[in-house]
A and B are shown apart, each in its own frame.
Chain A
């Protein structure tokens, strides 16, 4: 039986200010979205994926090793993906 965790989540990822839509599998880790989001935003240099940081609308840094399902994102929820400038992004 299909559960909520099996349903793809449609997110809006804002990469350095540029919003891009992205479909995510809730069973993946959040960090797995970094590369496809950079691809969609046409960021050419993906040599250091570790330094990219996800934050939610409230500015909270999101743990990239956590499963996407664990965040309980709403459909079309907006996340920011930015190059870290410090330990709080």
Chain B
């Protein structure tokens, strides 16, 4: 850490104070702060809309060293063990819809986007004209040990060579890297978007089938 830890700690704890001030709101949204050992926070995301019961699909470890000279670093983890998730283990790839703008004079038709661009091992998602579905969680393959959240305000996004033209310092003064904002985005496109009982059943079925396969071997 190259910044003064006392300053960083004060910033982090001020923001934890804002979390505590609205803890009922965050609890209801399933954004549960489980632990804080400076400079790391462990947060579990509870899917509040799954039926018949809420479920806990994932967690993250936020590393806030040098915050906010650097933005928060986000590692997707198993919330029970803190074990990092491989890309193929991430239960929800945080699909957001981004509005596209027509390039050209007024009246130009919006780009037609039919499907989410292919990602290894992830299902295709139908798109609609003018709206581009994007996965915020990115990885090279199912076995990628360090999938990252492709979002302005997340350290891994700005450290990625593909984003060298979009440095953190263009976004810092907008509060893009406030860790509460990052948590809310993950909840909105991740745990809060998990609504269907079917999804739970499908995951359960996959787990059962995997277990059967292991037993057979």
Contact residues of A with B, CB < 8 Å? 14-19, 41, 43-45, 57, 59, 78, 80, 82-83, 85-89
Q: Mark B115-145, 1 if CB is under 8 A from A, else 0.
A: 0000000000000000100101000000000
By a CB distance below 8 angstroms, the chain A residues around B192 are: 59
Which 3 residue pairs across A and B have the least CB separation, nearest first?
A17-B180, A86-B96, A45-B173
**Given A43-B173, A85-B96, A87-B99, A16 and B180 contact (CB-CB distance below 8 Å):** yes
B19 at the interface (CB under 8 A from A): yes
CB of B187, distance to nearest CB on chain A (Å): 10
CB of A82, distance to nearest CB on chain B (Å): 6
Q: Mark B10-21, 1 if CB is under 8 A from A, else 0.
A: 000001001101
Q: Mark B168-182, 1 if CB is under 8 A from A, else 0.
A: 000001111011110
Chain A interface, >50% SS class: loop
CB of B3, distance to nearest CB on chain A (Å): 19
By a CB distance below 8 angstroms, the chain A residues around B174 are: 43-45, 83
> In residues 173-200 of chain B, which contact A (Cβ within 8 Å)?
173-176, 178-181, 183-185, 188-189, 192
Q: Can you list 30 contacts pairing A with B, beta carbon distance less than 8 Å? A: A16-B176, A16-B180, A17-B15, A17-B18, A17-B19, A17-B178, A17-B183, A18-B18, A18-B175, A19-B21, A41-B175, A43-B175, A44-B174, A57-B25, A59-B192, A78-B22, A78-B25, A82-B181, A82-B184, A83-B174, A83-B176, A83-B181, A85-B96, A85-B136, A85-B151, A85-B188, A86-B96, A86-B97, A87-B99, A89-B188
Tell me the complex Cα distance, A78–B29, Å: 15
Tell me the complex Cα distance, A89–B188, Å: 8
By a CB distance below 8 angstroms, the chain B residues around A88 are: 96-97, 188
Tell me the complex Cα distance, A41–B181, Å: 13
Chain B interface, >50% SS class: helix
Q: Mark B42-83, 1 if CB is under 8 A from A, else 0.
A: 000000000000000000000000000000000000000000
**B18 and A19 form a contact (CB under 8 A):** yes
CB of B22, distance to nearest CB on chain A (Å): 7
By a CB distance below 8 angstroms, the chain B residues around A89 are: 188
Tell me the complex Cα distance, A18–B178, Å: 9
**A17 and B173 form a contact (CB under 8 A):** no
Instruction: Across the interface, name the chain B residue whose C-beta is closest to A51.
Output: B174
